[in-house]
Chain A
Amino acid sequence: MDWRADIRAIGSLMKREMGILAGDRMYWFMMLVAPVFCFLFFMDLLDEGLPSRLPVAVVDRDNTTTSRSLVRSLNSFAQVEVAMRTADFREAREALQKGEVYGIFYIPPHFRRDASTGEEPTLSFYTNDTYFLAASLLYKDMRLLGSLASGSVRQTLLLAKGEGGPTLTAKLMPIALDTHPLGNPWLSYSIYLANFLLPAFLCMFVMLTTAYSFIQELKRRTAGGWLSEGNGSVIVALTGKYLAQGLVFVVMGTLCLSLLYGYGRFPMNSGFFPMFLAMVLMVAASQGFALFVSGLVSRGRIVLSACALWCVLSFSICGFTYPVRSMPWLAEWASNLFLMRHYFLIYIDQALNGIGMAYSWQNYAALLVFALLPLMVLRRLRKNLEGNRYLP
């Protein structure tokens, strides 16, 4: 085997592929327009980090200076905006059902009197938990406000008894909890979303483009020419074609990384190289997976369906919002079959936590395995190409 001829063949195949890509609107859409749209869409949507100024309703049945100051401090939280003040709970409840507000803060009648005479009034807050993120953010703030209210009454009582001084904080709160959210001290939600969503979209487009371009060779009856240009070797033919596509996608991947860590300034504690390596491997793994499926099944639509299903499922099974550990065991196990899961774990280790690359070698290796999967179905791929079998 003359390896120089093979390299030359790969070169000419890459040129051929670039011609195909440039001449078809569909590829422009899949490789440039759609990824860029998705990148910009989510960068714009998520640029605030945490949603701020979530509307809530306040039902103030007490209407004293105390209750009004409570409402004022509620309004001063960054994530809360008192969008509605009313004395009628029913009105607030209807606004909650209509989705105009995400929560209701209820101050009972005679709140000030009861609090100062030891009647233990109850502050209630209601959150609409069908909006999960909004509700949990509000829950946090309203709960904090509840304990602040309690604390301020106690502080007044203690001061009145003459118990001020350095032990006052200890009297109010004997045990304080300090939290250290490592790697994400801002508790920013978009860190999770953006860093997974952008690469996941890229993965989806790589897979679909790979499968689609393979089917197109069969459908347009050009598979024979492709194979012969690759010196009759499937490996050379595949390498030439998909190296060219891979290069384009790696450029898109670099754009994605620079949007995330350059423009978006998301934390990258590992330096550029580990994430770039992960991105390159992710592109290769997506191509590998799509070719593997193309070899397993010969019907074009089943290949595309399988790739599409895999990509869409990876948005939930990779655990970027809901931890994989909390899934049923079968889903927990199956998550390893999704290559974005491995990319996500690398991201957590490298960019977010900045620990050594040795800790994520298994995930890098897993991506490499995905990239090499087509080697298992080379014979089937060759048969499909030689027979030029297009099955719809």
Chain B
Amino acid sequence: MRFLEDIYFVFRREFYLVFRDHGVLTFFVLLTLVYPLLYAYIYSNEIAEEVPVAVVDESHSALGREFVRNWDATASVRVVARCGEMEEAKELMRKKEVYGVLWIPGEFSRQVARGEQAHVSLYCDMGALLNYKALLAAATDVSLQMGKEIQAEGLEYATDITEAIATQPVKVRDVKMFNPQGGYTSFLIPAVLILVIQQSLLLGVGMVAGTERDRRRNGRSSPAGGHFAFPLRVVLGKACAYLPVYFVMGYWVFFIVPRIFNMTQVGGRAELMLFLFPFLLASVFLAIAVSFLSREREVPFLIFVFTSVPLMFISGISWPKSAIPGYLLWLGKLFPSTFGIDGFVKINNAGATLSEVLPEYAGLWILAAVYLCLACFLYYREMRMTKIEKKRVK
């Protein structure tokens, strides 16, 4: 009975601390509320469209014009300038008015007419890889399509079927799974969502602990004795205060935000919740454990903010796992976000079931247990240190 009483007391006090401190509330509520919206807004167009380009057509032929027309007609390209010579187009590129130049050489249509291979050249500004990809894909499509027409014209007395066989004996079909438009939002945002939850917890809990240490002379993060005599009860009590806040914010972040922005959501809701529960637990215990690093109210900013980006990279979302050095993968396994992102993406975007993400699921539970023990140990150590100090003072 005494056990639950202590937990309840710690919980009440912590709850009060959280809701009275606007700084902490900023992290727990405002950050988790606004940040996902901000990110989703930035990437809401998903793909590069209507990239401005210049054309240098030295062939002055019907065929060259047809190529440009077809290219311009694709969704990714907008021809904004037609230049007489290459230097003019390059100058436009330096001024950032166009991001690519298509050069059709003078002998283009002559070569086609002679039955030789004709060349067109695409020059791309590499300031953004996505622009290059869009321009290249569009130009490849056009050149293949026009090539096919030229081949078909060359076959006299051919029926439709022989034409088809001669121009394309094998069909190719590509399927983009789990992110049909190949967009940026559906790929990046799930990882951001998980990270927002973990990082806001680190910052908020760190701030609570730092403020407490600022207030007390002895630099302790909780009162000594009384209801705070047992480490496990303190940790559980604190966790009970943070968890309800994060159940609410988690629902917003993981279920409502993806809906607002029409992101892929194919996973079962119950399954997702079951998976996210240990993630929240592990994050909360991690936050309590590392809050011992924050000796002052301002410190969490300095030590936690920058970790988001490396964590994003070692989660295997923005950089393929097979290209990450092994020791970094192991480092990543120390953080709930790595398992969290992996599992969340698999369930939410790829429709995996809980049994298919078993390694991640187990990993989260193990992390939760490890960090619970670590947090308890750190409280125990802190309590013992103060006791020793007290004795020395006496």
Contacts and interface: CB of A to CB of B under 8 A. Distances in A.
Contacts of B314: 45
Interface in B84-103: 94-95, 99
A174 B140 contact: no
Contact of A132 (B111, B318, B328): B318
B301 A129 contact: no
A308 B301 CA distance: 7
Contacts of A349: 94
Given A26-B299, A316-B43, 8 more contacts: A51-B320, A51-B323, A126-B174, A130-B186, A174-B117, A189-B129, A321-B130, A321-B318
B219 interface: no
Q: Which 4 A-B pairs have the closest CB atoms?
A: A146-B172, A51-B323, A129-B179, A323-B128
B111 to A, nearest CB: 8
A213 to B, nearest CB: 10
A174 B169 contact: no
Contacts of B323: 48, 51-52, 54
A121 interface: yes
B299 to A, nearest CB: 7
B44 interface: yes
A38 B43 contact: no
A122 B320 contact: no
B165 A313 contact: no
Interface of A: 26, 29-30, 34, 38, 41-42, 44-46, 48, 51-55, 81, 94, 96-99, 102, 115, 118, 120-136, 139, 142-143, 146-147, 149-150, 153-154, 157, 166-167, 169-171, 173-184, 187, 189, 192, 197, 201, 204-205, 208-209, 212, 215-216, 300-301, 304-305, 307-308, 311-313, 315-317, 319-323, 325-328, 330-331, 348-349, 352-353, 355, 359, 392
B356 to A, nearest CB: 5
Contact of B43 (A41, A54, A201, A322): A322
B301 A212 contact: yes
B169 A182 contact: no
B262 interface: no
A150 B236 CA distance: 64
A204 B306 contact: yes
Contact of A123 (B171, B299, B319): B171
Contact of A97 (B42, B131, B171, B352): B352
A178 B122 contact: yes
Contacts of B119: 175-178
Given A126-B175, A316-B43, A132 B170 contact: no
Given A123-B171, A316-B42, A328-B44, A131 B317 contact: yes
Given A132-B188, A153-B170, A175-B147, A331 B130 contact: no
B319 A204 contact: no
21 contacts: A41-B328, A44-B328, A52-B323, A123-B173, A129-B177, A131-B187, A139-B174, A149-B172, A173-B117, A174-B147, A177-B122, A180-B123, A212-B298, A311-B305, A321-B128, A321-B130, A323-B127, A325-B99, A330-B41, A353-B126, A392-B297
B305 A308 contact: yes
Contacts of B33: none
Interface string B170-194: 1111111111101010111010000
Contacts of B130: 321-323, 326
Contact of A201 (B118, B129, B172, B309): B309
Contact of A359 (B95, B133, B175): B95
B161 interface: yes
B170 A146 contact: yes
B322 A51 contact: yes
B42 A317 contact: yes
A389 B59 CA distance: 73
Interface string B103-134: 00000000110011111111111111111110
B298 to A, nearest CB: 6
A136 B122 contact: no
B77 to A, nearest CB: 13
B367 to A, nearest CB: 19
Contacts of A301: 23, 26, 207, 297-298
Contact of A45 (B131, B162, B211, B319): B319
B256 interface: no
Contacts of A353: 94, 125-127
A96 B126 contact: no
A45 B325 contact: yes
A359 B125 CA distance: 15
B166 interface: yes
B117 A182 contact: no
A330 B352 CA distance: 36
B166 A174 contact: no
B265 interface: no
B252 interface: no
B165 A118 contact: yes
Nearest to A209: B302
Interface stretch (B226-234, B239-247, B342-350, B375-383): B342-350
A182 B303 contact: no
A313 B123 contact: no
Most buried by B among A42, A177, A182, A313: A177
Nearest to A122: B171
A38 B311 CA distance: 11
With most chain A CB atoms within 10 A of its CB, the pick from B117, B154, B169, B318 is B169
A4 B297 CA distance: 39
Nearest to B146: A175
Given A177-B120, A177-B143, A313-B38, A54 B45 contact: no
Contact of A41 (B211, B310, B349): B310
Given A96-B350, A179-B124, A123 B170 contact: yes
A193 to B, nearest CB: 8
Contact of B320 (A44, A98, A134, A304): A134
A9 to B, nearest CB: 27
B177 A128 contact: yes
B209 interface: no
A97 B173 CA distance: 20
Q: Which of B67, B124, B316 has the most CB of A within 10 A?
A: B124
Given A146-B170, A154-B166, A173-B147, A331 B322 contact: no
Given A52-B323, A130-B187, A122 B45 contact: no
B169 A125 contact: no
Interface in B285-312: 297-299, 301-303, 305-306, 308-310
